[in-house]
Chains A and B, each alone.
Chain A
Amino acid sequence: MNIFRFAGDMTHLISILVLLLKIYATKSCSGISLKTQELYAIVFVARYLDLFTDFISVYNTVMKLVFIGCSLAIVWCMRLHRVVRRTYNKDVDTFRHYFLVLGCFLLALFVHEKFTFQEVLWAFSIYLEAVAILPQLVLLQRSGNVDNLTVQYVFFLGAYRAFYILNWIYRYLTEPHFGRWIASVAGLVQTALYADFFYYYFISWKNNAKLQLPA
């Protein structure tokens, strides 16, 4: 474990807690893409299949359970909670995310570390996580100005993978035979997708104005 990875995991955890706070405090999920949340639930379930087979550490197991639990709870909340689900505007959350699932799965069938069930699903989860934010970014652009908690949620979600890139650079430099090319390349793509969001986030922060994404 290194500081970059720990910072990344904590930033990821904060992003999920901010989202839970927003939904719980405002009893509303307006501005949140259910499709992105469903993609994240798939990412965590597909990636953490080794939860019961490979014990890495208490920290690793606890964090996996938290990520799976929170992502499923958020999807449940947005689909079934009698108050929250009425605030979900499905007519603006129209990204065809099943194509993302299919595309990432096909890519994982061809590009993976080892052709085993667990490794192919792991690669699938890495590719899917890289593009999972797209429905949310599209929804942000469509819905113009959104509430602050949603903006913070997307910001922390983008920042966590940037920390992971520093972690991979650090591990590559300090550990012999460390090569996580699939995760590193996908992580770069994932962080790049946030680039314009980060730019407009910084501009809005500098001008102390609300975030305005160009439509």
Chain B
Amino acid sequence: CLQPPPKDEL
């Protein structure tokens, strides 16, 4: 399954 999107928030 697709990797969750990278956490771009602090």
Contacts and interface: CB of A to CB of B under 8 A. Distances in A.
Contacts of B7: 47, 50, 54, 56, 122
Interface of B: 3-4, 6-10
Nearest to A112: B4
A96 interface: no
Contacts of B10: 9, 12, 60, 63-64, 67
A114 interface: yes
Interface of A: 5, 9, 12, 47, 50, 54, 56-57, 60, 63-64, 67, 113-114, 119, 122, 164, 167, 180, 183
Contacts of B3: 114
A81 B10 CA distance: 29
B9 A183 contact: yes
A5 B4 contact: no
B2 to A, nearest CB: 10
